[in-house]
Amino acid sequence: MKQINEAHVAAPGLAVVEVAAADAETAFSVQELLAARCAIALADRTTRELGKPGVRLRCFLDLRQTPDT
């Protein structure tokens, strides 16, 4: 995954969330739970790191907005 840059967390209410899960289905389920509570830039895929178990998913949240904006 690319590095988190300053723009991703430039203001209060902005956050980067990285989910580690056993499988992609679980990771996307967590993302759906977050999307129901705040505005989110959805990830469309998970990644695997060689030698490490499970998958990773990174999404970007804006707690200042509601999901429907």
With a cut of 80, say whether residue 68 has pLDDT above it: no
Q: Domain for residue 2, yes or no?
A: no
The C-alpha atoms of residue 16 and residue 4 are separated, in whole angstroms, by 8
Q: Domain for residue 51, yes or no?
A: yes
Radius of gyration of the chain (CA): 13
The C-alpha atoms of residue 13 and residue 40 are separated, in whole angstroms, by 12
Q: Domain for residue 5, yes or no?
A: no
The C-alpha atoms of residue 54 and residue 67 are separated, in whole angstroms, by 28
Question: pLDDT at position 11, please?
Answer: 84
Q: Domain for residue 14, yes or no?
A: yes
> What would the pLDDT profile of 8-57 be if each residue is shown by its tens digit?
567 898 999 999 999 999 999 999 999 999 899 999 999 999 999 999 99
Question: pLDDT at position 32, please?
Answer: 95
As for how many domains the chain has, the answer is: 1
Domain ranges, residue 24: 10-62
Question: pLDDT at position 63, please?
Answer: 87
Strand order in the sheet with 14-21: 14-21, 55-62, 39-41
With a cut of 60, say whether residue 69 has pLDDT above it: no
